Chain A
Amino acid sequence: MNDPATSTIASKSNLERQTIRRERIKLVLKDKTFIVGALILSFWIILAIFGTVISPRGAGDQDFNFVSQSPSRDFLFGTDANGRDVFSRVILGTRLIVVMAFSATILGTILGTSLGLATGYFKGKFDMIVMRLVEAISAIPVLIIALLAIAALEGRSPTLTVIVIGFVFTPNIARTVRAAVLGESELEYVAAARLRTERTRHILFREILPNVLPPIIVEFTVRLGYAIFAIATLSFLGAGVEYGSPNWGSQIAENWGNIYSNVWWPTAFPALAIASLAVSINLISDSLLEIFEL
């Protein structure tokens, strides 16, 4: 085009486009909340991967010469009543909770997103029936239903716990996605897609899904935090993981009775580990919430 007016607009708009993208990336990288959260989370993920290499002792190594020793140079976090090194057990407990939390959340997000997309788009009777079920499931406290399911099934298998938590998360995620989809499917770009004979699957996954990603991502991080919460609590209650395995919740369950005699370290360090992991995920979801302006 040799029209000077439109070409200035074009260059202006190109420039603006770059600045918007740059500003958004900057926003993420400049956000202290995000950076702190990401740093702590990466720390724990690295421990989850390389924990067995880093840890000075094995998870079950016992030394009855050193029972309930307070933190020292040899035992950074002290030892528990069975003479096990708390530091090593905290490091080795990372992998299980991180893997379980991520798997459960991914499972719940996939199921919830599919269900939310379908109910939000098709509405009608299908939506009504599914939403009644969703409402019923979300009226059951997550922890108690998980306890029941785990007790009724094979007991202490982590895989089972992951599946149960994933299923229990599904209605919550479905509800969030459904609300977003309901709003989107009213927009006219969906009508426009129908008017070029797109299949429903294309409309759902290629047109609507990209637009509802921000709430899904935020919901994922929120649920991830809650998965840590739930897994830790379940293992504290003696359900969901092998008893005695190096995981933070069981460690606390085994040792917290000793806090009255001021042996706080076998309890406090795993507790701080749970807290820092959960908080790091919360910081990330919080900053994403702000950046996506949800």
Chain B
Amino acid sequence: MKRFILKRLGLSVITVFLVCVIVFFLTHILPGDVARQYLGRGATEDDLQEFRRLFDLDQPLLSQLFSWISDLLQGDLGQSMQYRGPVTDLLLPAIGYSSKLAAVAFLIIVPISIAGGVISAMNRGKKIDRAITVGGLSASVIPEFVWAILLVLIFGVTFQIFPVTAFPRRGDRDLLTQIWHLVLPSISLLLVLFGYIARITRAGVIEALDSDYMRTAVLKGLSRRKAVLKHVLRNALLPTIAVIASQIPYLIGGLIAVEIVFNYPGFGTILKGAVDARDYSVLQAGVIISSFVIILFQLIADILFAVLNPRIRQKVSE
């Protein structure tokens, strides 16, 4: 097991490294002059030189790469072009807010989606199954910002059930109020992520329901309910772990639009500001940080899957 974790960890480190290289080359090799992009057409040659010097853009490419990566290793994500201050100062508090939103969303999304998938599978071929699978996937292809705006319009403006911002006023920042403000944003994320997680859960449950071992359980004389609880769910929900981890990139991508609509000072709002200002040392840092989070969750999911699945557990411990 230890060897498996170490090996998996090693692979993750390689992936993180590759992500850094890809991101670096994306911004440094492709056509397009960063300085010109940032400063605009009005900039003089001197302005451009000065800007390049400030952000090390005049160094040879490889030495730029190495100094950038060695800075990354020390936790230095570079300087914001827009604010001329460390990117970390800008991003860290924002990431804190986003994590809060993501955590609330996660706690709503995972149980509801899994329940949806299980209900769908148990009622295979019936109307409720079609409604969950077709409806769920249809909802998931509509962008979060569309959902967020529609939800604000319906529940915030027209019926005024939920607050239209995700961030409570200064006065009432107790935990419950905070969470209450995060419900509507979380629902927009749920609508996008539900379909896929439910679909894969459904497939897993159906596979287990049709399995030979389920037949064995029923022919042993177990009631259907007991057989499902004991023999189906455990096997069926294993692959769901991997699927949930695979949805993290979409969750992070979805945060941007949702935070903007709900006026929430998170990671996404900062990135949107960076897009508008062409401040792409912030964007670069944003890509690195989100990829790091994604790789971390994938690592956790893989290890969890191996721990829970005896076939893999045995194999890796040999």
B-binding residues in A (CB < 8 A): 33, 132-133, 135-145, 147-149, 151-155, 225-226, 228-229, 232-233, 236-239, 252, 256, 259-260, 262, 264, 267-268, 271, 274-275, 278-279, 281-283, 286
Chain B contributes a number of interface residues (CB within 8 A of A) equal to 54
Q: B266: CB under 8 A from chain A? A: no
B19 touches A136 (CB 8 A): yes
Q: B37: CB under 8 A from chain A? A: yes
A-binding residues in B (CB < 8 A): 14-15, 18-19, 22-23, 26-27, 30-32, 34, 37, 133-134, 137-138, 140-146, 149-150, 152-153, 157, 164, 249-250, 252-253, 256-257, 260-261, 271-272, 274-276, 278, 280, 283-284, 286-287, 290-291, 294-295, 298
Q: Give me 22 A-to-B residue pairs in the complex whose CB atoms sit less than 8 angstroms apart, sorted by A's number.
A: A33-B134, A132-B15, A138-B249, A141-B252, A141-B287, A143-B256, A148-B286, A151-B280, A151-B283, A152-B280, A153-B30, A154-B32, A237-B260, A238-B275, A238-B276, A259-B149, A260-B157, A264-B157, A274-B146, A275-B142, A278-B141, A283-B134
Task: Tell me which of A154, A238, A274, A279 contacts B138 (CB under 8 A).
Answer: A279
Q: Cβ of B153: which chain A residues have Cβ within 8 Å of it? A: 259, 264, 267-268
Given the contacts A225-B141, A237-B256, A278-B141, A144 and B271 also touching, CB distance less than 8 Å: yes
Closest Cβ of chain B: how far from A158's Cβ, in Å? Answer: 16
B257 touches A236 (CB 8 A): yes
Q: Cβ of A141: which chain B residues have Cβ within 8 Å of it? A: 249-250, 252-253, 287, 290-291, 294
Q: Can you list the 7 inter-chain pairs with the closest CB atoms, starting with the nearest?
A: A136-B18, A143-B253, A278-B141, A141-B253, A225-B141, A153-B32, A141-B249
B30 touches A152 (CB 8 A): yes
A256 to B263, CA, bound (A): 12
Residue of B nearest to A136 (CB): B18
Interface centre among A144, A226, A228, A232 (most CB of B within 10 A): A144
Given the contacts A139-B15, A260-B157, A278-B141, A233 and B31 also touching, CB distance less than 8 Å: no
Residue of A nearest to B277 (CB): A151
Given the contacts A152-B280, A237-B256, A147 and B143 also touching, CB distance less than 8 Å: no
B250 touches A233 (CB 8 A): no
Closest Cβ of chain A: how far from B298's Cβ, in Å? Answer: 7
Closest Cβ of chain B: how far from A291's Cβ, in Å? Answer: 14
A283 to B149, CA, bound (A): 23
Residue of A nearest to B274 (CB): A151
A271 to B146, CA, bound (A): 6
Closest Cβ of chain B: how far from A255's Cβ, in Å? Answer: 10
A232 to B142, CA, bound (A): 10
Task: Tell me which of B141, B144, B257 contacts A226 (CB under 8 A).
Answer: B141
A148 touches B27 (CB 8 A): yes
A238 to B164, CA, bound (A): 22
Q: Cβ of A286: which chain B residues have Cβ within 8 Å of it? A: 133-134, 137
Closest Cβ of chain B: how far from A218's Cβ, in Å? Answer: 12
Q: List 17 other contacts, CB 8 Å, given A140-B23, A259-B157.
A: A133-B22, A136-B15, A139-B294, A140-B19, A140-B249, A141-B252, A141-B287, A148-B280, A148-B284, A149-B30, A152-B283, A233-B144, A236-B257, A237-B272, A252-B145, A252-B149, A283-B138
Main secondary structure of the interface of B (DSSP, over half): helix
A144 touches B290 (CB 8 A): yes
Q: Cβ of B290: which chain A residues have Cβ within 8 Å of it? A: 140-141, 144
Residue of B nearest to A232 (CB): B143
Q: Cβ of A259: which chain B residues have Cβ within 8 Å of it? A: 149, 152-153, 157
Residue of A nearest to B138 (CB): A279
Interface centre among B31, B249, B295, B298 (most CB of A within 10 A): B249
A229 touches B137 (CB 8 A): no
A226 to B27, CA, bound (A): 25
B146 touches A252 (CB 8 A): yes
Task: Tell me which of A137, A142, A147 contacts B22 (CB under 8 A).
Answer: A137
A147 touches B283 (CB 8 A): yes
Closest Cβ of chain A: how far from B198's Cβ, in Å? Answer: 13
Q: Cβ of A135: which chain B residues have Cβ within 8 Å of it? A: 15, 18
Residue of B nearest to A36 (CB): B134
A239 touches B275 (CB 8 A): yes
Closest Cβ of chain A: how far from B192's Cβ, in Å? Answer: 9
Q: Cβ of B256: which chain A residues have Cβ within 8 Å of it? A: 143-144, 233, 237
B164 touches A260 (CB 8 A): yes
A149 touches B137 (CB 8 A): no
A256 to B261, CA, bound (A): 9
Q: Cβ of B275: which chain A residues have Cβ within 8 Å of it? A: 147, 151, 237-239
A281 to B142, CA, bound (A): 11
Given the contacts A139-B298, A155-B37, A271 and B287 also touching, CB distance less than 8 Å: no
Given the contacts A149-B26, A225-B141, A237-B275, A271 and B150 also touching, CB distance less than 8 Å: yes
A255 to B280, CA, bound (A): 27
Residue of B nearest to A133 (CB): B18
A140 touches B22 (CB 8 A): yes
Q: Cβ of B143: which chain A residues have Cβ within 8 Å of it? A: 229, 232-233, 236, 274, 278
Q: Cβ of B295: which chain A residues have Cβ within 8 Å of it? A: 139
Residue of B nearest to A151 (CB): B280
Closest Cβ of chain B: how far from A52's Cβ, in Å? Answer: 25
Given the contacts A140-B291, A141-B250, A267-B149, A233 and B257 also touching, CB distance less than 8 Å: yes
